Amino acid sequence: VVAYVAGNALTLLHVPSMKRQYVFGLAKSGIGSFVVHPSRETFAVGEKGKLPNVYIYEYPTLNIVKVLRNGATRGYACMCYSDNGQKLATVSSTPDFMLSIWDWNNEQMLLQSKAFGQEVYSVRFSPGDDGRLTTSGTGHIRFWKMASTFTGLKLQGDIGKFGKVELTDICSFVELPNNQVLSSTESGALLLWEGNFIKLRIMRGESRYCHDGEVIIEI
């Protein structure tokens, strides 16, 4: 099954038969983001509109089994599940750009923090550690952890420092087994992050970038 968003519908394309199923946005204002649970038994759909919800759908019945509220003002830009599927992270779109961590099965928001002051394109939990995650977008990358403080559990985010490397939008990134993060750039180079500092800029020789244009996705 291939899933993609088109306007106010999430389309599920069954490749062998080429038959389509549609999940329409209940607010009728469009769908901002979606993500499939690691079990493949449910998927989350973040809608657009005034105070939109995240709906958890069961597959293949397409019944709504959970509803997550108050995570966005106008829409959801991106979302992801933790590796074990217990937590869901969402980032809202303009104007608030809020990062929210959910215990989705209990319809409970665990933590929330301002992700950044501009668009956020991607959010991912660290592999095997649902206490850490990374966000990236317009002119930034940010490394988050859930930390215990005197007032309880908090989201703490360290902004990536570009140093002498030109500031760039970061559409995508991937965390490596050693906890370093490899991110995209607009120029076509790749950046290797250690903590919130750049360790390496990866290119093809001294004057050629890895790609001839912006890197959009990394797997």
- Of 59, 58, 56, 54, nearest to 77 by C-alpha is 54
Rounded distance, CA 67 to CA 123, Å?
Answer: 20
Q: What is the mean pLDDT of residues 185-198?
A: 95
The domains of the chain are located at 2-128
Name which residue leads in pLDDT, 65 or 152: 65
Is 2-128 in CATH node 3.40.720.10?
A: no
pLDDT digits (tens, 9 = 90+) for 122-151: 999 999 999 999 999 999 999 999 999 888
Q: Would you say residue 161 has pLDDT above 80? A: yes
